[in-house]
């Protein structure tokens, strides 16, 4: 199996790293802290070769340095405050893609000694790949692409970025900072953690704007609505139902779907800035019996997903944050390594194909090995406007069954 070997490594600092005005410390919120046990966000873009191949590496270093002036947290490290307690264009995605990213296998808690941001540029036979890994306790997916978009802007010659990040962390009123909790070596090696296994097979399915529109219309019509169920809710429900149908599970078995819900538009008092740079997401969950789930149709499940998301109000999110501080719980990849659940990540709303570094837009997006387990579902915008790509991590036989399922492939392409 081919592997990519890094031939050089450079530490890139913010251009103004000696400036005393740079924020020296930033405390992490419960949204951030719960991610310490999982791995970094890894996304990268494939481009055609730039015209100036002799200078683009240095240009990327220089523009990255300038971009870090705006995203200063990424140029730092995680710090632990000591208290009385210890605190702590293949059918399947080729494995070689994982070698295109730095910080493989690094958990976010290791940000005390590892970089919070690492970039690897790989020269391929007919293009280049820019792989970016960012500590997930510092940013969520929206903030990840905010940084990437801004770097591309500076790389192609803009003097300043179009949207400044809001760097101040958001905390519930009256919460002591930094948040104190017990995190020992035993926590890191607890029985709840499954030892690393080989990443599952990955396959990308493409859904055109027209096919997504058909799914939306079908879902709404089944429950006598015109536009209540969104395009994304209809699509995710279609993928979930298809994945469960092709696993031939016991009709009495429970199956679950976890969806990422953005908190930025839901936190209004005080308001959370749209450009908030950090983690601001909540996880919603649906659980159903296999038999009932497959019998009720696309529309009913999609409507249930719509209602579940609507229930995640500002009050519900704040209640979660209050509860987390009283009893901290950490997300673990072991929680998604299952045949009877799907867990979403990323969003089709992120600006991925607008990342022009000065030699054209990317031709594809791929993710690294971080947090890959059976049941992982990653959502990307497609190259064509309005289209969506779904990256699925499931058992090989399930992915093969999906590709041969006419009900699923009537809306998808490879």
Q: Using one digit for the tens of pLDDT, what is the confidence trace for 256-280?
A: 999 999 999 999 988 999 999 999 9
Query: Does 388 share its domain with 311?
Result: yes
Same domain, 144 and 270: no
Q: Does residue 152 sit in the same domain as residue 217?
A: no
- 197, part of any domain: no
Residue 56 lies inside a defined structural domain of this protein: yes
Q: Which is the catalytic residue, given 62, 69, 339, 356?
A: 356
User: Has residue 167 been placed in a domain?
Assistant: yes
User: Does residue 83 register a pLDDT over 60?
Assistant: no
Residue 233 shares a structural domain with residue 144: no
Catalytic residue among 136, 146, 238, 312: 136
In a shared domain, residues 95 and 39: yes
Percent of the chain with pLDDT over 90: 58
Residue 47 has pLDDT above 90, yes or no: no
Kindly report, residue by residue over 247-260, the tens digit of the pLDDT.
Answer: 988 999 999 999 99
For residues 243 and 389, state if they share a domain: yes
pLDDT grade for 82, boundaries at 50, 70 and 90: low
Provide the number of structural domains found in the chain. 2
Q: What local confidence, expressed as pLDDT, does residue 12 receive?
A: 85
Read off the CATH number of the domain in which 386 is found. 3.30.559.10
Q: Is the confidence at residue 395, as pLDDT, over 50?
A: yes
In a domain, 122, yes or no: yes
Give the C-alpha separation, 92 to 202, whole Å.
Answer: 6
Query: Residues 6 or more apart from 136 whose CB is under 8 A from it?
Result: 35, 38, 39, 40, 41, 108, 279
5 within a domain of the structure (yes/no): no
Residue 53 CA: distances (Å) to CA of 57, 58, 209 = 8, 10, 36
Same domain, 182 and 249: no
Q: Look up 86 and say whether it is catalytic.
A: no
109-112's contacts with Cβ under 8 Å and 24+ in sequence apart are 109/36, 109/37, 109/78, 109/137, 109/183, 109/188, 111/77, 111/78, 111/135, 111/137, 111/138, 112/77, 112/78, 112/79, 112/80
Asked whether residue 356 is domain-assigned, the answer is no
Do residue 266 and residue 391 come from a single domain? Answer: yes
| Same structural domain, 288 and 231 | yes
249 or 126: which leads in pLDDT: 249
Within-domain flag for 339: yes
Point out the domain boundary residue: 141, 165, 188: 188
Identify the domain containing residue 171 by its residue range: 30-188
Is 136 an annotated catalytic residue?
A: yes
């Amino acid at each position: 199996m081919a592997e990519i070997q890094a031939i050089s490594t450079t530490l890139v600092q913010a251009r103004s790293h000696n400036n005393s005005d740079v924020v020296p410390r930033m405390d992490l919120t419960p949204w951030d802290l719960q991610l310490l046990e999982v791995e970094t966000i890894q996304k990268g873009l494939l481009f055609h070769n730039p015209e100036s191949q002799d200078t683009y590496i240095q240009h990327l270093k220089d523009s990255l340095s300038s971009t870090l002036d705006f995203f200063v947290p990424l140029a730092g490290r995680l710090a632990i405050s000591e208290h009385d307690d210890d605190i702590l264009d293949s059918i399947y995605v080729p494995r070689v893609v994982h070698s295109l990213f730095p910080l493989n296998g690094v958990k976010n808690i290791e940000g005390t000694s590892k970089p919070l941001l690492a970039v690897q540029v790989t020269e391929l036979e007919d293009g280049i790949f820019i792989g970016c890994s960012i500590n997930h306790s510092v940013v969520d997916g929206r903030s990840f692409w905010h940084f990437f978009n801004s770097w591309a802007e500076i790389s192609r010659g803009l003097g300043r970025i179009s949207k400044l990040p809001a760097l101040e962390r958001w905390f519930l009123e009256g919460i002591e900072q930094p948040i104190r909790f017990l995190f020992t070596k035993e926590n890191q090696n607890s029985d709840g953690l499954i030892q690393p296994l080989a990443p599952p097979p990955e396959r990308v399915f493409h859904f055109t704007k027209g096919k997504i529109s058909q799914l939306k219309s079908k879902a709404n019509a089944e429950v006598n609505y015109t536009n209540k169920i969104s395009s994304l809710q209809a699509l995710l429900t279609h993928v979930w139902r298809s994945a469960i149908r092709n696993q031939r599970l016991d009709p009495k078995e429970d199956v679950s779907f976890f969806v990422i819900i953005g908190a930025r538009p839901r936190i209004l008092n005080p308001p959370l800035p749209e450009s908030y740079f950090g983690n601001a997401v909540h996880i919603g969950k649906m659980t159903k019996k296999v038999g009932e789930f497959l019998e009720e149709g696309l529309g009913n499940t999609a409507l249930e997903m719509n209602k579940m998301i609507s229930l995640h109000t500002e009050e519900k999110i704040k209640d979660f944050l209050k509860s987390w501080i009283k009893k901290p719980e950490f997300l673990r990849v072991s929680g998604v390594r299952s045949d009877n659940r799907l867990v979403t990540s990323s969003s089709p709303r992120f600006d991925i194909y607008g990342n022009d570094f000065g030699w054209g837009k990317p031709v594809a997006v791929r993710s690294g090995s971080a947090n890959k387990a059976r049941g992982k579902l990653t959502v990307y915008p497609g190259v064509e406007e309005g289209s969506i790509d779904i990256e699925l991590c499931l058992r090989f036989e399930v992915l093969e069954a999906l590709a041969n399922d006419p009900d699923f492939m009537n809306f998808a392409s490879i």
